[in-house]
Amino acid sequence: MIEPTASPGARPKRPLMMLVGCTDRAEFQPSLHWMADHVQLEHFLDADEAHRRLLQCDRDPDWIVFAQSYASQLDPRIVAPLQRAAPLTPIVLLLGSWCEGETRSGSPLPGAARLTWCSFVPRMSVAAECWQARRASVWELPRTASDEERWSCELQHHRSGCPAQIGLVCRSPAQTDALRYTLHTAGHHVRSLDPSRDQGTACRAQGQNPLASLDVVLWADTGGSRQPRWALEQLARHAAPVPVVAVMTFPRVQDALAAQSWGVRCVISKPFQVADLLTQ
């Protein structure tokens, strides 16, 4: 397995992020607010302008982020000059909801970290914390690292020294097995829940919360009619104050806002990466 290495030496107080592309879409706004608060940001509308600036900089950016609004928007020939100018800088894609399915039916940009609009802030928050602490992270792996190597590094980084008690709500046996394996490997304890059999109403009437022993509830949308999203609203209200994390199939901004209004702490978009799950 390829191990990331941390580079010693004095650095500025904030990491430098170079952002390329149009960010007018509503789904990009939370990411922009996070950037304003946590990084030294330089924003360019096109890659040529960013490349000219990069050649003039006396410091390579810590991340080069491309805002991608729809599938196959980015041509590798446009990104290549930036990769050559800063070969050790990670390329990160801030993906809008129209980029769904690009890895299966489109032409995804090779050698780039793909972060959906709803996973960008938690993932980049971890990356910024590692940068501030001068701690090695998966971001320092070379672009040629395989998915298996990145997965192993993510699990190692997020392996919990304080295991959480996680309740899992998922109708799909295959998804349940995959989620349980990932969470167990990261050191957590998982208990499957079936809200349809939960006598929560009676317990609530007696002043008891049947989910009080849990640290978090993970709700995974199967994308089918058997588990409509109104069930998530019921679960979030029933679980409070235990936080609920929702894995949704192709969520839109309005879906995330609705979920948050019900009390859901955060939304993860399918398809997701291991780190998307473990950083929430």
What pLDDT was estimated at residue 6?
45
Report pLDDT for 40: 95
For residue 122, give every residue at least 6 positions away whose Cβ sits within 8 Å of its Cβ, in sequence order, or none: 266, 276, 279, 280
Angle at CA 174, nearest 5°, toward 105 and 112?
40
Q: What is the pLDDT of residue 225?
A: 46
CA distance 260 to 257: 5
Q: How much is the pLDDT for 196?
A: 62
Burial environment of residue 275 by CB neighbours within 10 A (0 to 12, 13 to 18, 19 or more): buried
Q: What is the pLDDT of residue 202?
A: 41
Dihedral over Cα of 106, 33, 267, 16: its sign: positive
Cβ(220)–Cβ(175) below 8 Å? yes
pLDDT at 26: 92
pLDDT score recorded for residue 63: 95
CA torsion sign for 138, 142, 143, 144 is: negative
For each successive 10 residues of the chain (280 residues), what is the average pLDDT?
48 90 94 96 95 91 95 90 92 90 76 89 88 79 75 67 86 89 88 68 55 89 60 85 88 87 88 73
Residues paired with residue 270 on neighbouring β-strands, in sequence order: 249
Q: Which two tokens mark 274?
A: 């291991």
Q: How far apart are CA 162 and CA 53, in angstroms?
A: 44
